[in-house]
Amino acid sequence: MFAVTAARIDADDPLAGLELGERPDPVVSDGWVTVTVKAAALNHHDVWTLRGVGISADRLPIVLGCDAAGLDPDGREVIVHSVIGDPDAGGGDETLDPRRSLLSERHDGTFAERVSAPRRNLVPKPAALSFEEAACLPTAYLTAYRMLFEKSGAQPGATVLVQGASGGVATALILLGRAAGYRIWATSRSEAKRERAVQLGADQAFGAGSRLPERVDVVMETVGQATWAHSVRSLRPGGRIVICGATSGDASPAELTRIFFTQLSVTGSTMGTRDQLGRLARFCEQTGVRPVIDRVLPMANARDGFAAMMAGDLFGKVVFTVLARGDNPGAPAERAMKRGSPGPRRSAEQGLRDRTSRARPARQARDRRSRS
Ligand SMILES: NC(=O)c1ccc[n+]([C@@H]2O[C@H](COP(=O)([O-])OP(=O)(O)OC[C@H]3O[C@@H](n4cnc5c(N)ncnc54)[C@H](OP(=O)(O)O)[C@@H]3O)[C@@H](O)[C@H]2O)c1
């Protein structure tokens, strides 16, 4: 089968270790099933793997990709939960299993025509979401869901600052947080991205490191070193930073004095449970929230998506599609969409504007049916 593989680790030139081509079909262990991948989303995790972060060379070659939506062996539309772990070993939460991994860490990942996963990891895909939209949920959107609704401790109406507005997790935080009634403030290094963040639903957007009109209840951190000091200074006394990533590095001063003096909490968050993924899918269905997709590319052009992510040249998710025999390569779902073109990205933002309309999911499903 066709697959996108990490063949070698290169910390300085990650694309040097990226290989596209034939790989053996997935091995199906007891209790596992094979999913035919229709769409798979790129995460920074895939770039980290190529850089050798979180994986050792003896695991290579390995198929990349944490996220997928596709068809189970009975033809049902499913979303693949990426966390491979035993809930019992994690006190009822598979993300807390000390031996848990994500697809593409120990087992081949989703950037392939087929992926094998435990049967319990398959979550029904709501019909209202396209395969491309559904493929964005298992990592970035699930992480954002848990950060907001489990880890932040903040009630709707609270002010939440999202650092680095344009990333996959960050755009998910803006969309989900806005739909749930939080006041979302965002920062970005780029004026154009700040404008996009406001269009998406952020109440206000600020330049990186800017002084805010008032201190916030919660800060959502994915950037790390470049924004950490600002995050600590932006919180009200007793506020909380929820951190799930450190894209710009983690060697920032901890700001210990400020943290104890203003009695802040710092909470780590990683992925989410299978049940949370199911609730996230329903949240999208009920609210009309749809993931922000920067571009959809055929999986054969995956290298372009990786390059755009590494250049920071994105607003939202990169999705790869897999053509099956009989699919129409000219259909919107499979056409390579470049940034700025109409299509998935426009419909995602259009979707946000309409998100309070209860009638919208049904209308979207009807529109999608009439397009296909
Ligand atoms: N723990 C988990 O379960 C989990 C899950 C998902 C992701 N993550 C981690 O979270 C991070 C974000 O992931 P992603 O997939 O959302 O990545 P992404 O789409 O590539 O987003 C990158 C983000 O980082 C910001 N950024 C990058 N370099 C920066 C710098 N030098 N200064 C300021 N901002 C900078 C960008 O903000 P601008 O708007 O300013 O460009 C952008 O928002 C990654 O480190 C990833 O590994 C962790």
Backbone φ and ψ for 84, nearest 5 degrees, come out as -100, 100
Cβ neighbours around 32 below 10 Å, total: 18
If one counts every other C-beta atom within 10 angstroms of the C-beta of residue 336, the result is 14
**Amino acid letter, residue 17:** G
From 223, 230, 294, 319, give the residue whose CB has the most ligand 1 atoms within 8 Å, as the site to mutate: 223
Q: How far is the CA of 61 from the centre of ligand 1 (A)?
A: 25
Average pLDDT over residues 276-302: 98
Give the tens place of pLDDT for each residue, 18-57.
Answer: 999 999 999 899 999 999 999 999 999 999 999 999 999 9
User: Percent of the chain scored above 70 by pLDDT?
Assistant: 87
Query: Tens digits of per-residue pLDDT, 178-217?
Result: 999 999 999 999 999 999 999 999 999 999 999 999 999 9
> What does the pLDDT average to over 325-335?
46
Amino acid at 264: L
Average pLDDT over the chain reads 89
Q: Using a 6 Å cutoff on CB, does residue 169 contact ligand 1?
A: yes
CA separation, residue 331 to residues 77, 112, 316, 344, 366 (Å): 19, 20, 22, 12, 16
Rounded to 10°, the helix 360-371/344-353 angle is 160
CB 139 near ligand 1, within 6 Å? yes
In the prediction, which pLDDT does 325 show?
A: 52
Query: pLDDT, tens digit, for every residue of 253-276?
Result: 999 999 999 999 999 999 999 999
Q: What is the pLDDT of residue 356?
A: 26
Cβ-contact 260, 205 below 8 angstroms: no
CA of 144 to the centre of ligand 1 (A): 12
Task: Answer whether 2 contacts ligand 1 (Cβ < 6 A).
Answer: no
First to last CA, the chain: 26
**41 Cα: distance to centroid of ligand 1 (angstroms):** 15
User: Ligand 1: does its nearest atom lie under 6 Å from the Cβ of 249?
Assistant: no
Q: Are 14 and 51 in contact (CB under 8 A)?
A: yes
Of residues 200, 97, 83, 197, the one with CA closest to residue 142:
83
> For the chain, how big is the Rg over CA atoms in Å?
20
Query: How sure is the predictor about 324, in pLDDT bands with cuts at 50, 70 and 90?
Result: low
pLDDT of residue 322: 93
For residue 326, what pLDDT is reported? Answer: 55
Give the pLDDT of residue 359: 29
Half-sphere exposure of 104 (CA within 13 A, CB side): 33
- pLDDT category at 323 given cuts 50, 70, 90 is confident
